[in-house]
Structure 1
Amino acid sequence: MFNDAPLSPNAGDHSFSPPADSILRRKDFLLGTATASYQIEGAIHEDGRLPSIWDTFSATPGKVLNGDTGEFACDHYHRWQADVELLSSLNVDGYRLSIAWPRVMDENGKPNRKGIDFYKTLLDGLKAKGLKTFVTLYHWDLPQYLEDRGGWLNRDTAYRFADYAELMSRELAGKVDAWMTLNEPWCSAFLGYASGHHAPGRTNIRYAPQAMHHLLLGHGLAVPILRKNDPGSQVGIVANVGRGTANTDSAADQRAAHLFEVQHNAWVLDPLLKKQIPQDLFELWPGAEPLVLEGDLETIGAPLDFLGLNYYFRTNVKSDGAHGFVEAPPAGVERTQMGWEVYPLGLQELLIGFHKTYPNLPPIYITENGMASDDQVVDGEVIDNQRLSFLNRHLAAVDTAAKAGVDIRGYFIWSLMDNFEWAFGYERRFGIVHVDYQTQKRTLKRSAQLVAKFLADRRAQS
C-alpha cells in the first residue's frame, strides 16, 4: 500500500497501564490474543489434511511475496503444547483460534479423526490453563475441492459449510466458549473474488456480491446448528470494518466516503442486522446484484449473541467524478509496516456509529486489532514501541466508545505471534511474540511482557 509517509516508532506512550477508570481494569473485560489456522499451523500434508485454496494460491508464482507459503508457518501443529504454555505465561483471559476445514473432514463429509483430535486436545489444553476459547470455523482456508466446484460462487458451498458446522459443534461441544462462523467475509468475497489479492484469486467484480451472499447464507444456516449442538456456548460472526473519511467537505467527496463505508461495512452488517442488502452498493457495482432466494435474508439475519469486529485503519477517499470513490491517502501521517495509517479515532467513531445505526446491535468483541512492524531481536529483546503506542491509543478509543454506551465485552490483540501474513508472506510481523522462522524460537516482545504484567497485576487486585 502507501509507504511514502514516515513511520513514527517513538510516538505515544510505551508503557501499558490503562487509566484507573478504563474498561480494561474491569475483571469481566476479556483481554486476549488471536491467530488463524493457516497462518500458524503448518503441517499441510499431515494426518489426512486436504489441500486448501491457500495452499493452491500461495504455491502459484507471483501471488505471495517472496513465494512464501503456509507449508511450515509457525509449526503450531507440532508445537501447540509449548504455545499453550506461552499463552498462559501472558496471563491473557482468552484465545481466539480457527479450525482448518480441510483438516477435519474429507470430500465426502466423513470426519478425519486425527484432525479433529488435534483440536480437541488443543482446546482441552487451553481450558486446563483457564483460558476462554473463541473458535472461528472459517478463517479463509476453504477446501480446494469445494473451490473446484465453484467455491463461494456455488450456493452448495453454504450447505457444505453447515455440514462442517454440524460436525465440529458435535465433536467440540463443551470445549468452546464462543463460536464464530466466519472471519471477515468482506475479505473472502472482495479480495478473493473481485480484486484477486487473496485466494482463490478471481478478478470479477460481479462475483463478489454473489460470493458474499453465499458466505452469509452459510453463516445463517450454521447459527441454529451451533446453538442446538453446543447450547452452552455463544454464537457470533466476525466482520472487518473500516472508517471512510472524505478528502473535502464537498457533497461529492462526502458521498464517496459514504459509499466506501457501504461497501466495507454495511455490505456485511445490513444483511446480518437489518435483513437487507444495502442498495447503495449497486451504485458502485451496477448490475452485480446477487441471486437471493426467498427466505435467505431471514436465515442470514438470525439473532447473534455477539458481533466480532476487526479494525486496522481508515481509508481517506474522494469522488471519482462519477458514481464511486478513489483513495486519497493523506501525507505525513503515521503508518505501519503494512503502509496502513494509524487512526484510532476511526475505531471509536465506528463503534459509536454502529450503536446508533443498529438498534439491535449485539454485544461487541474487538476480535482483531494490531499492527505490523519490522521487529528484530537485538541482544535477546524485541523493543516494539510503536506497537505499544498503537495498542494504548486503540484501547483508549474502545474505552471512550464503551463510556458512550456501546456494549463492548473484550479485545483480542492481533496477533499472538508473527505468522504467515497472507499475500505478504513472512515479511510483515503482527505478533506480540517474535518468531524466528528458521529455528521456530519464540521471543516475547516488549509489548507481550507489558501486557502480561498488567494482566498479572489486574488478577492480583481482583
Structure 2
Amino acid sequence: MSKDYQFPPDFLWGSATSAYQIEGSPLADGAGPSIWHRFVRTPGMVKDGDTGDVACDHYRRYKDDVKLMRDLGLKAYRFSVAWARVMPEGRGRVNPGGLDFYERLVDTLLENGIEPLLTLYHWDLPAALDDRGGWLNPDVAHWFADYASVMYRRLDGRVKRWATLNEPWVVTDGGYLHGALAPGHRNRFEAPIASHHLLRSHGAAVQAYRAEGKHEIGLVVNLEPKYPASDSAEDRAAVQRADAYMNRQYLDPVFFGRYPDEMKEIFGEAWPEWPEEDYALIRQPIDWLGFNYYTRSVTRHDEHAWPLRAGVVRQHATYSETGWEVFPQGLTDTLAWLRDRYGNPPVYITENGSAFYDPPTVEGDTLDDPLRVDYLRKHLRAIHDAIGQGCDVRGYMAWSLLDNLEWSLGFSKRFGIVHVDFQTQKRTPKASGRLYAKIVASNGRALSESA
C-alpha cells in the first residue's frame, strides 16, 4: 500500500528565481549597474564570458512567464528586486521606471492568482554602493533600510510575504572570502565584517517593515547539514566548525543575539568584537524563515583546508552537475534541527533543485529529465516526512522556474523545471515541471504514485 503524501491544506506551492539571473536588460529604463554587471565583465571570472545582459529576457517577457506559471498551476512565485533598478545610486534618488516594472510584475501575478514572495536582496548590490565600501561600510544598514522602505511603501499589501536577504553566507563566502562571486574579494578580515553588516542590514529592514508594513517579513538562508566522516574527535570538531560557519553564523544572531563560539576559532585575529546594540538590531523578531536546501556535506578534519580546517569526503552516490550529492534525508534532518534549536519557526523551503544535463535546444513540446524528476519527488517526500515529525513547513518554492545564468558558472548549468533555449528564448516545460504541476494540483498526492 502506497503512502499518502497529502500536504496541509494551506501549503504554498511555487517556484523561485532571482533578478540578475533571469531579467536581462540590466540598464533599461534608467537602472544603474550592479556589482554583477561589473563582475561578469572581469576576464576569467564567469565561464565562457557569459553575462546577464539578456539572460532569460524576463524583463520584457514577464507576462508570458507569468502565464507559464499559471499553466503549471503555481500558487506562488518568489522573485528578487534588483536594488539598482529601483535606486540607481543605491541611495537617494528613486528610479520610477524600475519601480514600475516590479509593480507591473506583482499586479500581473495577482491577476493570475499567484502570490508574490518578494526578496529584497539576492546578491546584486548597486555598483555605486560598492564604490562606497558595499557590505564593509557600516552605513549599508541604513542604505538597505531606506531602499526596503521604498519597496514597502509601493507594494506592501499586494506583497504579503517579504524576505530581506537571500543567503548571506554565499554573499560573504563567495564575495569576500574566496573571491568566486561579486565583488570578488579574498580577504579573511573582510569576511566577518561583511557578514555582520549583512545581518545589521537585515535587522534594519525588519525594523523599517514594522514601521511601514502590515504583513510578514523573514530572512532566507542556505543550510547544509554536516555529517562527520568518522567518529574521531578531530572529525567531530571539524563538523562543529563547518556547521558554525555555514549554518549557525547567520541564525544564532537572529534567534539568540550572539555568534557561535567557533567563529573566533575559525577567524582568529580577524574576528571582531561587536557592540551589544548591534545584536539588539540583528535580533528583530521575524515572521518566517526561508530555508534553501541543495545537498549535505560529509566532513573530515583537514589541516590544509582554509579557513575551517575541514574537508569534504565524496560518497558513493548520485551527484548533480554542480558536484552536489543528492541526499534528501538531509532536508528532513535539517528541518528537525531548525525545529529543535530555534523553537520550530514557520519555514518555507524557498529554494530546492538540481542541475543535471539538458540539451541547449529542445525538439517538441517537452523534455525528459529523469534525474531531476527523481530529485524533486524524493525531496518533496522528505519535506512531508518532516511535517509528519512536527516541523512547521508552510510552503515549497522549486529552484528554479527557468534555466538561467548560474552566476560564475554562466549558462553551463541548468536548474529549471522549464527549459530555456538561450538563442531563441523558447520556453519548454520539462518532465520535472509537468510532474510538479501534478503535485501542486493534487496538493502532494501525486507523490504517492510509484516512481
Q: TM-score, normalised by structure 2?
A: 0.94
What does residue 333 of structure 2 align with?
Answer: 349
What does residue 394 of structure 1 align with?
Answer: 379
Does residue 111 of structure 2 align to residue 111 of structure 1?
A: no
Deviations 1:39-87 (A, max 9, x none): 0000012101101000111110100111101111100000011011011
Distance 1:65 1:105, change over 3 A: same
* Partner SS, residue 259 of structure 2: coil
What does residue 421 of structure 2 align with?
Answer: 436
Amino acid across the alignment from 1:445: K
Taking the aligned partners of 2:202 and 2:30, their CA distance within structure 1 comes to: 26
Deviations 1:15-56 (A, max 9, x none): xxx942442xx3311111000000000001210110100011
Amino acid across the alignment from 1:250: S
Distance 1:51 1:321, change over 3 A: closer
* Partner SS, residue 418 of structure 1: coil
Give yes or no for contact 2:239–2:310 (8 Å, CA) kept in 1: no
What does residue 432 of structure 2 align with?
Answer: 447
Taking the aligned partners of 2:374 and 2:254, their CA distance within structure 1 comes to: 34
Question: Per-residue deviation at 1:378?
Answer: 4.4
Deviations 1:263-304 (A, max 9, x none): 010000000111101121121111122352331111111111
What does residue 370 of structure 2 align with?
Answer: 385
Give yes or no for contact 2:292–2:350 (8 Å, CA) kept in 1: yes
What does residue 237 of structure 1 align with?
Answer: 219
What does residue 20 of structure 1 align with?
Answer: 4
Worse overlay, 69-78 or 376-385: 376-385
Worse overlay, 390-399 or 366-375: 390-399
Distance 1:122 1:459, change over 3 A: farther
Question: Per-residue deviation at 1:454?
Answer: 3.2
What does residue 425 of structure 1 align with?
Answer: 410
What does residue 52 of structure 2 align with?
Answer: 70
Amino acid across the alignment from 2:410: G
What does residue 102 of structure 1 align with?
Answer: 84
Say how many residue pairs are matched: 440
Pick one of 121, 146, 163 that aligns with 1:138: 121
Taking the aligned partners of 2:62 and 2:308, their CA distance within structure 1 comes to: 46
What does residue 283 of structure 1 align with?
Answer: 265
* Partner SS, residue 28 of structure 2: coil
Taking the aligned partners of 1:425 and 1:91, their CA distance within structure 2 comes to: 29
Give yes or no for contact 2:339–2:345 (8 Å, CA) kept in 1: no
Q: What is the root-mean-square deviation in Å for CA atoms of aligned residues?
A: 1.8
Distance 1:260 1:86, change over 3 A: same
Taking the aligned partners of 2:398 and 2:3, their CA distance within structure 1 comes to: 19
Does residue 392 of structure 2 align to residue 407 of structure 1?
A: yes
What does residue range 295-314 of structure 1 map to in structure 2 within 5 Å? 295-314=277-296
Structure 1 residues not aligned, in runs of 5+: 1-17
Pick one of 344, 353, 371 that aligns with 1:370: 353
* Partner SS, residue 286 of structure 1: helix
Deviations 1:431-458 (A, max 9, x none): 0000000000000001111221333344
Give yes or no for contact 2:298–2:312 (8 Å, CA) kept in 1: yes
Give yes or no for contact 2:303–2:310 (8 Å, CA) kept in 1: no
What does residue range 5-16 of structure 1 map to in structure 2 within 5 Å? none
What does residue range 211-250 of structure 1 map to in structure 2 within 5 Å? 211-231=194-214, 233-250=215-232
Give yes or no for contact 1:304–1:362 (8 Å, CA) kept in 2: no
Question: Per-residue deviation at 1:460?
Answer: 12
Give yes or no for contact 2:18–2:79 (8 Å, CA) kept in 1: yes
Worse overlay, 170-179 or 324-333: 324-333
Structure 2 residues not aligned, in runs of 5+: 447-451
* Partner SS, residue 285 of structure 1: helix
Taking the aligned partners of 1:191 and 1:216, their CA distance within structure 2 comes to: 16
Worse overlay, 382-391 or 312-321: 312-321
Worse overlay, 88-97 or 390-399: 390-399
* Partner SS, residue 393 of structure 1: helix
What does residue 316 of structure 2 align with?
Answer: 332
Deviations 1:373-392 (A, max 9, x none): 11122444310111111111
* Partner SS, residue 31 of structure 2: coil
Taking the aligned partners of 2:191 and 2:291, their CA distance within structure 1 comes to: 21
Distance 1:460 1:367, change over 3 A: closer
Taking the aligned partners of 1:321 and 1:329, their CA distance within structure 2 comes to: 14
Worse overlay, 328-337 or 341-350: 328-337
Give yes or no for contact 1:38–1:100 (8 Å, CA) kept in 2: yes
What does residue 449 of structure 2 align with?
Answer: none
Give yes or no for contact 1:387–1:447 (8 Å, CA) kept in 2: yes
Question: Per-residue deviation at 1:234?
Answer: 0.8
What does residue 32 of structure 2 align with?
Answer: 50
Taking the aligned partners of 2:111 and 2:309, their CA distance within structure 1 comes to: 50
Deviations 1:305-359 (A, max 9, x none): 0000001111122112489433233243110011111111111111111211123
* Partner SS, residue 179 of structure 1: strand
Give yes or no for contact 1:227–1:235 (8 Å, CA) kept in 2: no
Taking the aligned partners of 1:383 and 1:329, their CA distance within structure 2 comes to: 31
Q: TM-score, normalised by structure 1?
A: 0.92
* Partner SS, residue 391 of structure 1: helix
Does residue 238 of structure 2 align to residue 253 of structure 1?
A: no
Give yes or no for contact 1:246–1:317 (8 Å, CA) kept in 2: yes
Deviations 1:235-273 (A, max 9, x none): 001000011111111111011112111101000000011
Give yes or no for contact 1:95–1:132 (8 Å, CA) kept in 2: yes
* Partner SS, residue 276 of structure 2: coil
What does residue 176 of structure 2 align with?
Answer: 193
Distance 1:92 1:369, change over 3 A: same
Amino acid across the alignment from 1:268: Y
Give yes or no for contact 2:117–2:163 (8 Å, CA) kept in 1: yes
Distance 1:21 1:80, change over 3 A: closer
Worse overlay, 431-440 or 322-331: 322-331
Give yes or no for contact 2:5–2:381 (8 Å, CA) kept in 1: no
